[in-house]
A and B are shown apart, each in its own frame.
Chain A
Amino acid sequence: EVQLVESGGGLVQPGGSLRLSCAASGFTFSSYWMSWVRQAPGKGLEWVANIKQDGSEKYYVDSVKGRFTISRDNAKNSLYLQMNSLRAEDTAVYYCARYPYPVGDAFDIWGQGTMVTVSS
């Protein structure tokens, strides 16, 4: 079964850091672009970051550039999001998603999400 499982969310103070993880199974992880997408409480979806199969290309939404870093470990079938200098507006459910570009330009598999709350 193709599956993505996120972990690492929690409560953090403004200015703090958190590292999210996403464990992939059921497919050849190293063959796919991977992504992080977030959803603030009661709001819509917002793409956060993408990373190429070998990690050589990374893209971020402007609001997290310089604060968040996406990375992956293909040997461990894992995706990561290092989040620094966190702000209240980063509070959201963070989803890990598979991006099968160029075969289908969309996020085709999603994890269940992990909640990040930034509050003092």
Chain B
Amino acid sequence: EIVLTQSPATLSLSPGERATLSCRASQSVSSYLAWYQQKPGQAPRLLIYDASNRATGIPARFSGSGSGTDFTLTISSLEPEDFAVYYCQQRSNWPPSWTFGQGTKVEIK
């Protein structure tokens, strides 16, 4: 089973700052890596799929990079609405399974 480890657990930043979130896989997941944003009381929202592709309607300040075992989600300049929990997620080929990281909370400093 592939385990995804996100770091840091909490990121304290101010609006306008750059946020860099990490997701590390226990073995290679190629580029099958997605990122989601979740705000309290809401469903998750897809931000990035296949490691670096922005989902429909996602602002350009969100970007994803990486391949293999190390991935990064970057928010170039934090807006007030970006303070939330972020999850990475991968798909294993066989047996087919999908797992999420434990999440990184981006909070206002």
Q: What is the chain B residue whose CB lies nearest that of A4? A: B43
Check if A104 sits within 8 Å of B89, measured CB to CB: no
Using a Cβ–Cβ cut-off of 8 Å, how many residues does chain A contribute to the interface with B?
A: 20
Chain A residues, Cβ within 8 Å of B91: 105
Question: Is A106 within 8 A of B89, CB to CB?
Answer: yes
A109–chain B nearest beta-carbon distance, Å: 8
Which one of B49, B95, B99, B101 lies within 8 Å of A106 (CB-CB)?
B49
How many residues of B are counted as interface, with CB atoms below 8 angstroms from the partner's CB atoms? 26
Chain A residues positioned under 8 Å from B99 (CB to CB): 47
Beyond contacts A104-B50, A109-B46, A110-B45: 10 other A-B pairs, Cβ-Cβ < 8 A, are A37-B44, A45-B44, A47-B98, A50-B98, A59-B95, A104-B49, A106-B34, A106-B49, A107-B34, A107-B46
